Amino acid sequence: MMWYDGGWGWGGWIVMTVVMVLFWAVLIVGLIALVRYLNGARHHQQPGPPASSADGGWQAGRAENLLAERFARGEIDEDEYKRRLAFLREHR
């Protein structure tokens, strides 16, 4: 009676161990995915009002913002900035 395990044997213990490990793995991966989803949704929001369709839509505004950032960081000079900005506004 001391070694009575309900008839599961070693196979039952192995199955229980695998199921428990899978349960915790799915739970942890699910929590990580939820945190990344919620964190990513917060970071992708544009500050301020979105560009209107009359201004060329949000893509043109985003391209101009990226160009301005590159100019501010010193990656491009003033002549190249003006030339690329004129090109972007010309091809809306």
DSSP label of 49: P
2 part of a folded domain: no
CA distance 11 to 13: 5
Residue 67 domain boundaries: 52-92
Determine contact, residues 67/85, Cβ cutoff 8 Å: yes
In the chain, how many domains are there?
A: 2
1 part of a folded domain: no
Proportion of the chain above pLDDT 70, given as a percent: 70
pTM: 0.41
DSSP label of 55: G
When pLDDT is averaged across residues 37-61 and rounded to a whole number, the result is: 62
